[in-house]
Amino acid sequence: MIKPTESELEILNILWAEGPSNVRSVNEIMNQQKEVGYTTTLKLMQIMTQKGLVERDESSRTHIYSAKIKAEDIQGEMLDKLLNSAFGGSASKLVLSALGSGKASAKELEEIKALIQKLEKDGNQ
């Protein structure tokens, strides 16, 4: 699978959140965080099309782009990379670090607990 660069990932995130979009609206969302020229975003999205990261509907003048890869796939891959590059392969260290920062809500903690219980049950069979 093709690995997106930093900027490409930003765009993918927008497409995942917003669904199929044109360059202008992607660029506007990008600009909420940092200033980026329109043609910069355009160029990136063109490159992403070439790489097969996004799909482009050219039926009208304003092209519509949509993410071609699933968020989960990239997430899993990047997580794996981080796991090995920064956490020495220890998933628990990573999880502990993630939970420790206090970013998960009570409901989310429940979800995680439920998954752990399931994993433990399956593991014992």
Tell the burial category of 17 from Cβ atoms under 10 Å away from its Cβ (0-12, 13-18, 19+). exposed
24 contact choice in DNA, a second copy, none (CB below 5 to 8 Å, kind-dependent)? DNA
81 binds DNA (CB under 7 A): no
CA dihedral 16, 21, 23, 26 (to 10 degrees): -40
Instruction: Name the one residue in this structure whose structure tokens are 């502990």.
Output: 96
51 contact choice in DNA, a second copy, none (CB below 5 to 8 Å, kind-dependent)? none
Q: Which two tokens stand for residue 114?
A: 């439920």
Residue 120: in which H helix or E strand, if any?
Answer: helix 106-123
Report in angstroms how near the CB of residue 4 gets to a second copy at its nearest: 9
Binding site for DNA (CB under 7 A): 5-8, 22-24, 35-40, 42-44, 46-47, 58, 61-63
Binding site for a second copy (CB under 8 A): 6, 9-10, 13, 16-17, 71-72, 74-76, 78-80, 82-83, 85-106, 108-109, 111-113, 115-116, 119-120, 123
